[in-house]
A and B are shown apart, each in its own frame.
Chain A
C-alpha cells in the first residue's frame, strides 16, 4: 500500500523559524483595549505574555529531529514493532540521544546535557508525536529528568543526559499533576549489610507505567517516614515488570512489582513530593506538545488523502461535508498550538501561571488530537479502518495521550480553584 500523502499544512517549512526578526516578543495591538471588562475577582493572568512563536533554535532542532525520524521511523516499522517482543526502538533512541542530544535537552550543560529549556523539549516532542515514535523520550528525558532536576540528583542526570541509561518515574501513566501523590510502594524490612551500604528495601506494586519497560532505573515514590523517592535498578532481583496489552502499543505500559528490592534514596519529605509533582507537570506539558504534533500530522495525512481519493467523479476533498470539518479541525490545531506554546514557555521560566497553562495545554491538545485522529480514520473511509494503514497508530496514541497525566475533564476541573470558579455550594 502507498504511504499516506504528505502535505505540509503548517504555516512554515520545518526549518523556518517564525521569529527570526529581532522584534519585541509580545507586542500588544495598537489602540486601547476597549471592550474589556475589569471583573473584580478575576484571576490575574499574565498581562505580558511570553513569545508563543518558534525561535530559530527551536526550528533548527525540529528540522534535525524530523530528518532523523523521516529516515528511521517509518510507520510500517513502528506498526511491525507493536507486534514484536521489542515495542521500543533502542537503535532509534540511541540515534536521537547520541546524534541530536534529545535525551539530555533539559539537563544542564555541566552535567552533560544540552541545557536548553522546555520550549525546545516540547518542539522535539511535537516531532516524536508526528511519527508516533516508540522511544522513552517522555518518560526518561522529560518526566524522570524533571523529577531529578527538582532534587538536583546530578549523578543520575548525567547518565540520563547521554541516553545510555533511561529512567522512569514509577507512577501510573494516568496520574494527574497536582493531585496528591499516593505511593504504592513501601519500605521493606532491611537485610543484613543494608545499613552499612546505605541501601533501603522497597516492596509494592504500581500499575500502568509508561516508558518503564525499557528503563534501566526506576524512580519509585514510597511510603515511609518520611515519604521518599528512591532509585531502583530495574535489573535488580525482586523487580518484575509485566508488559500490558495497551491501547497504544507504540508506548506499551507495564505493571511493576517490587519485592524487597534494594533502593537508593534520592529525596525525602517535601523534596520528594516536589520531585514527583515536577515530573508529572513536565510530563503533562510536553505530552500536550506531542499531541499537537500528532494532530498536525493527522490533518496533513487526511488532507493529502481526500485530495487524491476520487468518488462520484471528483476528489472527495471537494465536498463541503469534508472541507468544513477539516477546516474546523485545523482551527482546533491553531488553538492547541497556542496553548502548547504558552505552557512550554511558562514551564521554561518557572512562571507562576504554569499550573493554569498546563491545564489549558493538556486539555486542549488532548481533545484536539483525539478529534483529529478520529476524523483521520473516518475521512480515510475503509482503508482508514484497516490494520495496514497508520491512522490507527495515531488514533491509539491520541486517545491514550489524552488520558495520560489526567483527562481533559479532570484538568479543567482544577480550574475551579485555580481561577476561582467554584462549583455549586454543597447544600444545593
Chain B
C-alpha cells in the first residue's frame, strides 16, 4: 500500500524545477564554476546568492529559484558536503528569520534588491527594534514616535531587548506614526540605519551577568520615507508577519536524541554515580522522556512544514521548549549539590548569542529563565493557543477602540 509520505523511488521528473535532483545538479554546477577552496568567502557567498542557491524558495534574482522551501536542506547539505563557507546563520538569525521574510513580503522591488543580498551574506547584520520598556507583551502599545518631515520621518523613543544591535547595520523598526488612531492602527514599519545620527546602543546586562541584548535610544533619528516597509499605518500587520516568522524559526532546528539541554544533565548523571538519589532518578527519567518526546514533536512540526501543511503546533513547541529548559537546568544545578552553589563567571561579557553550552549549569539555569519571556511570554502564547487554535472567546479588552493618546499609561 503506497504511503504518500514517501518519495517515489524512481523520480520520473527528476530534472523538473523544484525537485531535489534539480537542486543537487545546480549546486554541483555552481561548485564547479566557483570552487570554495580558491574563491574568497565573501565572493563565494555573493555568487551563491546570485545563482539562486542562497534560499531556494525565494524568487529568482533575490537569492532563490522559487523552489519548494523544503528543498533548502538539500542545497545546504550539498554545500556542506563540499566544505563551502556558510553565512554563519547562527549570528544573523534576526536578519534571516525575521527581517528577510518581511522585506520579501512587504518591501518594494528596490528595497528587496537593496537589502536582501547583503543580509543573506552577513555583510550587513540586522536587528529588531520592537519591544520597549513600556511595551512588552502589549507590543501594540509602543510609544516610539515617528513624525513626518518632508521626505523623512523623525523617530524618537527607546527600544529594548535588541540582540545584535551593537553589530547591526540595519534594524527593522515599528514606531507610532499616528497617536490619534487606536493603538493597532497608528503604527508604521521602517528599516532603520543603525549608523544614522541619533542612534545610541547601550549594552543591557542580564541576570546571568553578561549582556546579550541592548537598549537602543533613538533621538531625532531621520529615516527617509523610502525606507518605510509597507503602508503608513499598516505597521501592525507587517510586524505580525515578522513575529509569525520568529515563532516558526524558534525550535526549528533538528537535534539528535539527547541533543539540547538534557545532554549535560544526562552526562553528569552518568559520570557521577555519587550524586544520584532515587528522587532525582525519577525526575531525570521523566525529563529525559519529556525531552525526547518534545524532540519528536519538533520533528513532526518540521515534517508538516515540509509537506506544505504547517500546523498550529509551533506555539506548543516554544512552550514546551521553555518549560523543559527550565526544569532540566534546575535539575542539573540540584544534581550538582555543593558544586551547584558556585557560578562560573559574573563578568559582563558581550555574548554574541544565547549559548547554553560551554558554560556551567548555573548559567544554564539562569539563562533558561528567559526562555519563557523572550519571543512571546508563555502566558501570551497560551492566550494565542486558546484563542486562535482552540477558538475560545477573547479577553474582554478596554484598549482596542480608544485613541492611543488617550490610553492610561
B297 beta carbon closer than 8 Å to chain A: yes
Name the contact of B392 in the complex, choosing from A29, A49, A326 (C-beta under 8 A): A326
Contact A34 B313 (CB under 8 A): no
* Interface flags, B243-259, vs A, CB<8A=1, else 0: 00000000011111111
A423, closest chain B residue (CB): B281
Contact A30 B76 (CB under 8 A): yes
Contact A31 B299 (CB under 8 A): no
Please provide the chain A residues from 186 to 211 with a CB less than 8 Å away from any CB of chain B in the complex.
Answer: none
From known contacts A34-B253, A51-B5, A424-B277, infer whether A415 and B285 are also in contact, taking CB-CB under 8 Å: yes
B276, closest chain A residue (CB): A424
Name the contact of B391 in the complex, choosing from A37, A49, A303, A341 (C-beta under 8 A): A303
A1 beta carbon closer than 8 Å to chain B: no
Contact B4 A337 (CB under 8 A): no
Contact A20 B307 (CB under 8 A): yes
Please provide the chain B residues from 270 to 298 with a CB less than 8 Å away from any CB of chain A in the complex.
Answer: 270, 273-274, 276-278, 281-282, 284-286, 288-290, 292-294, 296-297
B111 beta carbon closer than 8 Å to chain A: no
Please provide the chain A residues from 326 to 374 with a CB less than 8 Å away from any CB of chain B in the complex.
Answer: 326-328, 330-331, 334-339, 341-342, 356, 359-360, 363-364
Chain A residues lying within 8 Å of B254, measured Cβ to Cβ, are 28-29, 33
Contact A331 B288 (CB under 8 A): no
A2 beta carbon closer than 8 Å to chain B: no
Q: Smallest distance from the beta carbon of A368 to chain B beta carbons, Å? A: 10
Please provide the chain A residues from 20 to 67 with a CB less than 8 Å away from any CB of chain B in the complex.
Answer: 20-37, 39-47, 49, 51-53, 55-57
Contact A23 B307 (CB under 8 A): yes
B355 beta carbon closer than 8 Å to chain A: yes
B383 beta carbon closer than 8 Å to chain A: yes
B20 beta carbon closer than 8 Å to chain A: yes
Residue of B2, B252, B293, B304 with most chain A CB atoms under a 10 A cut-off: B293
B312 beta carbon closer than 8 Å to chain A: yes
B86 beta carbon closer than 8 Å to chain A: yes
Q: Of A4-12, A86-94, A144-152, which binds chain B?
A: A4-12
Q: Smallest distance from the beta carbon of B96 to chain A beta carbons, Å? A: 9
Q: Smallest distance from the beta carbon of B179 to chain A beta carbons, Å? A: 29
From known contacts A37-B259, A323-B382, A415-B288, infer whether A338 and B76 are also in contact, taking CB-CB under 8 Å: no
Chain B residues lying within 8 Å of A21, measured Cβ to Cβ, are 4, 307-308
Name the contact of B284 in the complex, choosing from A43, A314, A334, A421 (C-beta under 8 A): A421
A161 beta carbon closer than 8 Å to chain B: no
- A40 CA to B258 CA, complexed, in Å: 11
Contact A27 B289 (CB under 8 A): no
In the complex, 13 of the A-B residue pairs with CB atoms within 8 angstroms, ordered by the A residue number, are: A11-B312, A26-B299, A29-B253, A34-B253, A39-B258, A42-B266, A45-B292, A307-B393, A323-B382, A360-B289, A415-B285, A421-B284, A424-B278
Given contacts A9-B389, A26-B299, A37-B258, 9 further A-B contacts (CB under 8 A): A7-B390, A25-B5, A31-B76, A32-B90, A39-B267, A53-B300, A315-B393, A326-B392, A360-B289
Residues of B within 8 A of A (CB): 1-8, 20, 68, 70, 72-73, 76, 80, 86, 89-90, 252-260, 263-264, 266-267, 269-270, 273-274, 276-278, 281-282, 284-286, 288-290, 292-294, 296-297, 299-300, 302-304, 306-309, 311-313, 316-317, 319-320, 355-357, 379, 381-383, 385-387, 389-396
